Amino acid sequence: MVRFDHGQSLVVTKAPLRVSFAGGGTDIDYFYKKYEGAFISSTINKYVYVTVKKHEDIFNEKYRLNYAESEICNSIGSIRNEIVKECIKLIKLPYPLYISTISDVPSSSGLGSSSSFTVALLLALHTLRGDKVNAAQIVEEAVYIEVSKLRKPIGKQDQLAAAYGGLNFYQINKNGEVNIKPLAASKSNIVKIFDNSFLLWTGISRHSENILSDQKLNRLKNIENLNFLKRQALDLYDLFRSNLDINKLASFLNEGWVKKKKLTSKMTSKKIDLLYESLIKEGAKGGKVCGAGGGGFILMLTDKKKKKLIKNKFKSFKFLDIQYEPSGAEIILNAK
């Protein structure tokens, strides 16, 4: 990332959202510290945008925040948004701040928006201060804030995707070190994946922390299922490096979703199961509920020609067409 001189007064950043294909759950420390983790995800052309500006003294407030809510306060301790609070505490800036964020999708949607926000905010604050930072540092700080400070029952997958971007195979060693292997060398595979996939909004927003906390309580009996998801990631790594067969990928996603539902009873619901079954009946080949489950988006694979037919059949639902995003978090505006 580029270094800017001290004296920046306005910075705008963006960080991409992601969809995961295999290995979800193996990026959480209680698993990878014993068994090592492995997962595959890709960033998409949907983003979280963050604006950070030096706030003028004339406003008589130290912090003005705009996100789903608005906050005006004069001390870090009085900030209600925990991510903003911890990021400001970590990246110490000696002047008042205006912080605003917007997202291409609703929060709690299963696309990693919370971590994308954390990554984009850290990048913006560092840039405003004139720091030179890279993706590895941003990931380390984002994980520190979300996992160590805020005690969220999450892993490293979302922060890694948001910071680095692209379609990657990630391996986490028992000591927490991450090995990243890019999988986007084959442009034809990228085209196949995104031409033959779509996201369907279930209309259900859920707090992933509740689902993941319940999953953590069941971690001892979930080891077998998590190891299955890890093996899937290893197998998919080979599949992605060959001439990708969409039917095989759909089958992998389907098998992974069946196992993932066993991690916690909160992973799915009758409504979600019926919707998933209806999509399969109408020609979708396979898929999964994104993220921690319980709602948000369903990622489905189908023939390109059938996407339009499925959309017409499910007119009461909202669809999100997605494309591949090769880049991670980046600065899109900086000004003095």
Q: What is the mean pLDDT of residues 24-48?
A: 95
Quote the pLDDT of residue 293: 67
Tell me the pLDDT band of 234, cut-offs 50, 70 and 90. Answer: very high
- Please check the confidence at residue 15 and state whether its pLDDT lies above 90: yes
In degrees rounded to 5, what are phi and psi of residue 182? Answer: -65, 145
Which tens digit of pLDDT belongs to each residue from 246-304? 999 999 999 999 988 888 777 788 888 999 999 999 999 999 999 866 778 999 999 88
Quote the pLDDT of residue 186: 87
> CA-to-CA distance for 267 and 123, rounded, in angstroms?
32
Tell me the pLDDT band of 336, cut-offs 50, 70 and 90. Answer: confident
Q: What is the mean pLDDT of residues 20-32?
A: 92
- Please check the confidence at residue 163 and state whether its pLDDT lies above 50: yes
- Please check the confidence at residue 177 and state whether its pLDDT lies above 50: yes
Three-state SS string over the chain comes to CCCCCCCCCEEEEEEEEEEEEECCCCCCHHHHHHHCEEEEEEEEEEEEEEEEEECCHHHCCCEEEECCCEEEECCHHHCCCHHHHHHHHHCCCCCCEEEEEEECCCCCCCCCHHHHHHHHHHHHHHHHHCCCCCHHHHHHHHHHHHHHHCCCCCCCHHHHHHHHCCEEEEEECCCCCEEEEECCCCHHHHHHHHHCEEEEECCCCCCHHHHHHHHHHCHHHHHHHHHHHHHHHHHHHHHHCCCCCHHHHHHHHHHHHHHHCCCCCCCCCHHHHHHHHHHHHCCCCEEEECCCCCCCEEEEECCHHHHHHHHHHCCCCEEECCCECCCCCEEEEEEC
Q: Taking all residues of the chain, what is their mean pLDDT, rounded to a whole number?
A: 90
Tell me the pLDDT band of 185, cut-offs 50, 70 and 90. Answer: confident
Quote the pLDDT of residue 56: 80
In degrees rounded to 5, what are phi and psi of residue 191? Answer: -60, -45
Quote the pLDDT of residue 216: 61
> CA-to-CA distance for 239 and 31, rounded, in angstroms?
24
> CA-to-CA distance for 173 and 233, rounded, in angstroms?
15
Crossing angle of helices 187-195 and 246-260, rounded to 10°:
60
- Please check the confidence at residue 195 and state whether its pLDDT lies above 50: yes
Query: Are the beta carbons of 81 and 65 closer than 8 angstroms?
Result: yes
Quote the pLDDT of residue 201: 93
Query: Are the beta carbons of 54 and 9 closer than 8 angstroms?
Result: yes
Quote the pLDDT of residue 295: 79
Both tokens assigned to 319? 């669809």
Question: How far apart, in Å, are the Cα atoms of 81 and each of 69, 87, 125, 145?
Answer: 9, 10, 16, 13
- Please check the confidence at residue 6 and state whether its pLDDT lies above 90: no
Q: What is the mean pLDDT of residues 315-329?
A: 94
* 186 Ramachandran zone, left/alpha/beta (phi>0; psi -120 to 50): beta
